[in-house]
A and B are shown apart, each in its own frame.
Chain A
Amino acid sequence: MIYVINDIITGALIGLLYALVAMGFVVIYRASKVFNFAQGELVILGGFIVWYTTFELGLDLWLAITLSLLLSALAGYLIERIFLTKLIGESVFSMVMVTVGLLILLRGIVLLLFGPAVRPFPVIFPLKPLFLGEMLIPMNLLIGGLITIVAAVGLSWFFNRTRAGLRMTAVAEDHVVASSMGISVKGSIAFAWVLGAVLSTVGAMIFLSGKSLTFLASEIGFAALPVALFAGLESIGGLILAGVIVGVAQSLATNYLDPLVGGALGTVVPYLIMLGILLVRPTGLFGWRTIERV
C-alpha cells in the first residue's frame, strides 16, 4: 500500500513538472493563438544555457541562474522577432508549420553548438529526498511542484485580472481586430515568447537538476503536450489538475501495467488520455467553448 501512495505522490509531482512545461504552451497560446510545437526544444535550449553559465563560465549558482533566465528571455524574444512577427494575421497552418520548422531547427542548432555529448547539469535543488515516515519524496520535484503552483496562480491572476493580460487575450482572439483596437499585437506576442522561454528554462532546472543533459531531454515537450490539451489550452489553473491526473496515471501504468504487457506502456498513456479527450471534448476540461457562426 505504501508503495502505491509513493507512486501516486511521485507521479503527481512529475505531473506538476509537465504542467510547468505545458504552461509554456498555454502562455504562448493565450497571448497569440500560436501553438508552439518547439516547447521541448526551448527546454533543452534553457538547459544548455544553464549548463553553459555554470560550468563553462564557472559563475556562482545564483548568478548563473539569474543570467540564464535573462539569456533565455532574450532567446525567446529573438525567436519571436525572427520568425513569428512576420506571420501576424496569417493562417493557423502557417503558424503551426513555422513552430514545427522551429522544432527541427532549434534541435539542429543545439546539436551544432553543444554537440551530442552528455553534459553534467548543476545541482540546483537539493538531491536528498524528503522522508515522511516510510514515504520518500524527491526534493527537487517537491520544490518544482511548489514553483509550478505559484507560477500558475500568478499567471492566472495576470491573464484574468490585469489590463495587460486581458489585452493579450484580445490579441489571441483576433490579431487584426486587436491591432485595430490599438493593442500592440507584436508586443503581446513578444512578451508571450519571453515568458514561454523563461518558464521552459525553469522547467529544465527542475527536470534536470543533478542529472545529465543531452538534446534528447526535449522529449519532455511531447510529454507535456497531453497535459496542455487535457486542461484546455486557455486555462492555466486547470493545468495543475490535468498535470496531476496525467502524472498519476502515467506513474501507475509504468509501475503496475508495464510488467504485465512487457513494454513501455507508461510513455503512451498520456497520449491515449489525450486522444480520448480530443474525441469526447476537443476543448479540454477548462478550455473555452467557442461558438462558430456562419
Chain B
Amino acid sequence: MDPSGIFATSYRADRRLVRTRWQALSLILFIAVLLAAPYLVGPRIVAILNIMYISAVVAVGLQICTGYAGQINLGQAAFMGVGAYTAAILAEKTGLSFLLTIPIAGFAAAVFGFLFGLTAARIKGFYLALTTIAAQFIFHFAVLNLPSSWLGGSNGVTVPPATLFGLRIVSEGAQYYLMLFVAAIMVAGAFGIVRSRFGRAFVAVRDDDVAAGIMGINVAATKANAFLIGAFYAGVGGGLWAYLIRFVGVDQFTLFNSVFFIAMIIVGGMGSIVGALIGVFVIRVIQEIIATVGPNIAESVTFLGGDIVFAGMNVILGGVIALFMILEPKGLMHRWTILKSSYRIWPFPY
C-alpha cells in the first residue's frame, strides 16, 4: 500500500518498482553503502558479505521456483554444485574468461534442473520433494564415482582466480565488487522475471494448476520453466562460489545446504524477492553468530564436545523452520508490510 497522496496516472506508473522519491533515495543509499563496504568494514565482514551475495543469488532462484511457482525443491544445493563444478572445470582446463564460465555454469545447472522439472510436470506436492532429494543423491554419486580425472572425486577441484578481460581478479576488493555486481544483475533480473508473463504464469500455476490450465497456460511447460530458471540461478551462484572459495568439493553441496536455502525463503517470506534477500541476511547472520559463539560454549561446557557448532546449527535451523511454519508462515516480509501500512494509516486501525 502506498503512502497517501501517491496516485498513478498510467498503468506503467502503477507497475513501477520504485514509486516514490523516498524509495529511490533509500535504494541509492543502500547501493552506496554496499559499494563502500570494503572501505568501511574489516575483511572478515567483507568475506561474510561475499557469501551473502552468493546465497542471495541461489536463494532468489529457489524463491522463483518454490515461492512463485510453488514447486517444492529440496535439491537446490545440488543444482548449485553442478554450476560450481562446471565453472571450476572450465576455468581449470580451458582457462575461459569469467564472463563465459558463469553463464555456462548457469546453463549446465539449468539443464540438470530441467530434467527434474520434467518429472515435476507429472507429479506434485511432496512427491516432487522426493525426486529433488533424489537429485541430491544422484549428484553426490556422480561426483564421487566418475573417474577422478573428470571431477576430482572426493578430493575436489581447485579453481584458478577469475579472469576478466585478461585481468586476474585476485585482490579482495576486486573479488568483492565482482560478487556484488553479478548478484545485483541476477536480483534485478529476478524482479523482471516475476513481473513478466512467465512470472504471472508461475503464480497462476502455484495458486491452482487446474485453473491455470483452463486459462490457457501450459502447466507442464511452466513447471519445467520454473525449475529451469531456479536451477540457472543456482548454477550462477555455484560458479561464483567456485571463484570465491577457489576450491570445489562435493561436501559443500549437501541436503543440509539445500535445507538452508529453504530456511532462507521461509524466514524471509514465500513469494517475495525482497523476502528472499531478508532471509539470506537473517540466516547468514544467525549462522555467523553460532560459528563465533559455539566454540566458546564448547570450552565452558566440556561434556558437549567439539561438535557443538554443527549440532547447534542443526537445532537452530530446524527450530527456525518449524517455528516459522507454525507461527509466521508468511515470513518476515509479511510482518514488515503490515508494520508499514499500519504506520501509514495511523491513527486508524484499518
- Name A residues whose Cβ lies closer than 8 Å to a Cβ of B: 35, 37, 83, 86-87, 90, 92-98, 100-109, 111-112, 115-117, 222, 225, 229, 261-265, 267-268, 271, 274-275, 278-279, 282, 292, 294
26 interchain pairs (CB within 8 A)? A35-B129, A83-B326, A87-B326, A96-B72, A96-B125, A97-B321, A98-B321, A101-B319, A102-B322, A106-B318, A108-B312, A108-B313, A108-B315, A108-B317, A109-B314, A109-B315, A111-B310, A112-B304, A116-B305, A262-B145, A264-B141, A265-B145, A267-B137, A278-B127, A282-B122, A282-B127
Chain A residues with CB under 8 Å of B145's CB are: 261-265
Chain A residues with CB under 8 Å of B130's CB are: 225, 229, 274, 278
Minimum CB distance partner of A35 in chain B: B126
Interface of A is mostly: helix
Residue B177 is within 8 A (CB to CB) of chain A in the complex: no
The minimal Cβ–Cβ distance linking B147 to chain A, given in whole angstroms, is 9
Contacting residue for B315 out of A90, A105, A229, A292, CB 8 A: A105
Contacting residue for A97 out of B131, B256, B266, B319, CB 8 A: B266
Tell me the bound Cα distance from A36 to B176 in angstroms: 41
Contacting residue for A107 out of B131, B144, B314, CB 8 A: B314
0/1 interface trace, chain B 101-135, chain A, CB 8 Å (1 if under)? 00000000000000000010011011101110110
A-B contacts besides A94-B325, A101-B263, A115-B305, 8 pairs, CB < 8 Å: A96-B129, A104-B256, A108-B315, A109-B315, A115-B307, A275-B119, A278-B127, A282-B123
Contact A100 B138 (CB under 8 A): no
Residues in B242-269 with C-beta less than 8 Å from chain A: 256, 259, 262-263, 266
Minimum CB distance partner of A229 in chain B: B130
Tell me the bound Cα distance from A37 to B256 in angstroms: 13
Residue B210 is within 8 A (CB to CB) of chain A in the complex: yes
What size tier do the contact residues of chain B reach?
35 or more
Contact B314 A105 (CB under 8 A): yes
Residue B80 is within 8 A (CB to CB) of chain A in the complex: no
The minimal Cβ–Cβ distance linking A97 to chain B, given in whole angstroms, is 5
Minimum CB distance partner of B270 in chain A: A93
Contact B312 A268 (CB under 8 A): no
Contact B321 A104 (CB under 8 A): yes
The minimal Cβ–Cβ distance linking B219 to chain A, given in whole angstroms, is 13
Residue B308 is within 8 A (CB to CB) of chain A in the complex: yes
Residue B214 is within 8 A (CB to CB) of chain A in the complex: yes
The minimal Cβ–Cβ distance linking B320 to chain A, given in whole angstroms, is 8
Chain B residues with CB under 8 Å of A105's CB are: 314-315, 317-319, 321-322
Contacting residue for B119 out of A111, A112, A279, CB 8 A: A279
Contact of A97 with B137 at beta-carbon distance under 8 Å, contacts A112-B312, A229-B130, A265-B145 already known: no
Tell me the bound Cα distance from A278 to B116 in angstroms: 11
Chain B residues with CB under 8 Å of A86's CB are: 326
Residues in B301-350 with C-beta less than 8 Å from chain A: 304-305, 307-308, 310-322, 325-326, 329
Contacting residue for B307 out of A104, A109, A111, A274, CB 8 A: A111
Chain B residues with CB under 8 Å of A93's CB are: 70, 72, 125
Contact B210 A111 (CB under 8 A): no
Top 6 closest A-B pairs, CB basis?
A105-B318, A108-B314, A101-B321, A263-B145, A104-B318, A108-B315
Contact B131 A92 (CB under 8 A): no
Contacting residue for B322 out of A101, A275, A279, CB 8 A: A101
Chain A residues with CB under 8 Å of B316's CB are: 108
Tell me the bound Cα distance from A275 to B312 in angstroms: 34
Tell me the bound Cα distance from A117 to B126 in angstroms: 34
Chain B residues with CB under 8 Å of A106's CB are: 318
Contact of A98 with B325 at beta-carbon distance under 8 Å, contacts A104-B318, A268-B141 already known: yes
The minimal Cβ–Cβ distance linking A252 to chain B, given in whole angstroms, is 17
Residue B240 is within 8 A (CB to CB) of chain A in the complex: no
Chain B residues with CB under 8 Å of A83's CB are: 322, 326
Tell me the bound Cα distance from A115 to B312 in angstroms: 12
Contact A278 B312 (CB under 8 A): no
Residue B65 is within 8 A (CB to CB) of chain A in the complex: no
Chain B residues with CB under 8 Å of A94's CB are: 325, 329
Minimum CB distance partner of B326 in chain A: A86
Contact A102 B214 (CB under 8 A): no
Chain B residues with CB under 8 Å of A229's CB are: 127, 130
Chain A residues with CB under 8 Å of B321's CB are: 97-98, 100-101, 104-105
Tell me the bound Cα distance from A117 to B317 in angstroms: 22
Chain A residues with CB under 8 Å of B263's CB are: 101
Minimum CB distance partner of A271 in chain B: B134
Minimum CB distance partner of A107 in chain B: B314
Contacting residue for A90 out of B123, B129, B329, CB 8 A: B329
Contact B308 A112 (CB under 8 A): yes
Residue B74 is within 8 A (CB to CB) of chain A in the complex: yes
